[in-house]
Chain A
Amino acid sequence: MLKCKINGKEMEVPQGTSIIEAFKLSGQDIAHYCWHPGLSVAGVCRLCMVEIEGQPKLQIACNTMVQDGMVINNNSETVKDVVRWGLDFHLINHPLDCPICDQAGECGLQDQYMQFGKYDPEMAERKVKKRKVVDLGPTVVLDSERCILCSRCVRFTDEVSKTHELGIFNRGDRSEIGTFKDRPLDNKYSLNTVDICPVGALTSKDFRFRQRVWYLKTAESICPGCSTGCNVNVYYNEEGLWRVRPRHNPEVNGHWMCDEGRDTYKYVNRKARLLEAKMGHRDNWTLESPGAAAKAAGQKLREVIEAHGPESVALVLTGQYTTEELETAVQKFKGDLGSSLVYHWVNNPESFEDFDGILLRGDKNPNTKGLLKILEQEGVSLTWKDLESRVQQGQIKTVVVAGPENQSVFPDFVEKVNLLAGVENVVWLTACPHSVLDSREKATWQIPLKTYIEKAGSFINHQGKTQSFEVGTVIVSSALTLAEAATLLVGQELEVSSGDRLAELTRKKNFFTETRGAL
Chain B
Amino acid sequence: MADFQLSAEGVEFVKAELKRYETPLSAVIPCLYRVQKENQGWVSPESVSYLSQLMDIPEAHINEVLSFYTMFNREPVGRHHVQVCCNISCAMNGARELTHHLCKSFDVKEGEVSKDGKLTITRVECLGSCGTAPMMQINDRYYENLSPDSAVKIIKELE
B residues sitting closer than 8 Å to A (CB atoms) are 45, 48, 58-61, 63-64, 67-69
Q: Closest A residue to B64 by CB, please name it.
A: A167
Residue of A nearest to B60 (CB): A167
A180 touching B67, Cβ below 8 Å: no
Cα distance A164–B63 in the bound complex, in angstroms: 12
Q: Is the interface of A mostly helix, strand, loop or mixed?
A: mixed
Give the docked Cα–Cα distance between A168 and B68 (Å). Answer: 9
Q: Please measure, in the bound complex, the distance between the C-alpha atom of A423 and the C-alpha atom of B58, giving whole angstroms.
A: 57
In the complex, the answer to whether A167 meets B61 with C-beta atoms within 8 Å is: yes
Bin chain A's interface residue count. Answer: 10 to 19
Check if A164 sits within 8 Å of B67, measured CB to CB. Answer: no
Please tell me if the beta carbons of B63 and A169 are within 8 angstroms of each other in the complex.
Answer: yes
* Given A167-B64, A180-B45, 17 more pairs with CB closer than 8 A: A158-B58, A164-B59, A164-B60, A164-B61, A167-B58, A167-B61, A167-B63, A168-B64, A169-B63, A169-B67, A170-B68, A171-B69, A179-B60, A180-B48, A180-B59, A180-B60, A181-B45
21 pairs of residues in contact across A and B, judged by CB atoms under 8 Å: A154-B60, A158-B58, A164-B58, A164-B60, A164-B61, A165-B60, A166-B60, A167-B60, A167-B64, A169-B64, A169-B68, A170-B67, A170-B68, A171-B67, A171-B68, A171-B69, A179-B60, A180-B45, A180-B48, A180-B58, A180-B59
Which residues on B sit within 8 Å (CB–CB) of A170? 67-68
- 1/0 contact string of A160-192 vs chain B (CB within 8 Å): 000011111111000000011100000000000
Q: How far apart are A204's CB and chain B's nearest CB, in angstroms? A: 21
Residues in B with CB closer than 8 Å to A165 are 60
Which residues of chain A are near B48, meaning CB under 8 Å?
Answer: 180
Q: Which 8 A-B pairs have the closest CB atoms?
A: A164-B58, A167-B60, A180-B59, A169-B67, A167-B64, A180-B60, A171-B68, A180-B63
Report A's interface with B, CB cutoff 8 A.
154, 158, 164-171, 179-181
The smallest beta-carbon distance between A169 and chain B, in angstroms, is 4
Task: Report B58 CB to chain A, min CB distance, Å.
Answer: 3
Closest Cβ of chain B to A362, distance in Å, is: 27
Closest CB in chain A relative to B110 CB, distance in Å = 19
Report how far A89 CA is from B8 CA in the complex, Å. 47
| Cα of A338 to Cα of B61 in the assembled complex, Å | 65
Complex CA gap A179/B45 in Å reads 12
Residues of B within 8 A of A164 (CB): 58-61
Contacts of B64 on A, CB cut-off 8 Å? 167-169
B126 to chain A, nearest CB (A): 16
Chain B neighbourhood of A180, CB < 8 A: 45, 48, 58-60, 63
Question: Considering the chains assembled together, what is the distance between the CA atoms of A390 and B113 in angstroms?
Answer: 80
Closest to B70 in A: A171
Query: Which of chain A's residues has its CB closest to B62's CB?
Result: A180
Residues from chain B with Cβ under 8 Å of A168 in the complex: 64
B69 CB to closest chain A CB (Å) equals 8
A180 and B68 alpha carbons, distance in the complex (Å)? 14
Please indicate which of the listed interface residues B48, B60, B69 has the most CB atoms of chain A within 10 Å of its own CB. B60
Nearest CB in chain B: distance from A358 CB, A = 17
Distance in Å: Cβ of A88 to nearest Cβ of chain B = 24
Q: Which residues of B contact A179 (CB under 8 A)?
A: 60
What chain A residues lie within 8 Å of B59 (beta carbons)? Answer: 164, 180-181
- Nearest-neighbor residue (CB-CB) of B46 within chain A: A181
Cβ-closest chain A residue relative to B67: A169
Which A residues are in CB contact (< 8 Å) with B67?
169-171
CA distance A167 to B68 in the complex (A): 11
Q: Give the chain A neighbours of B45 by CB distance below 8 A.
A: 180-181
Q: Could you tell me the distance between the alpha carbons of A170 and B58 in the complex, rounded to whole angstroms?
A: 17
Give the chain B neighbours of A166 by CB distance below 8 A.
60
How far in angstroms is the closest Cβ of chain A from B40? 20
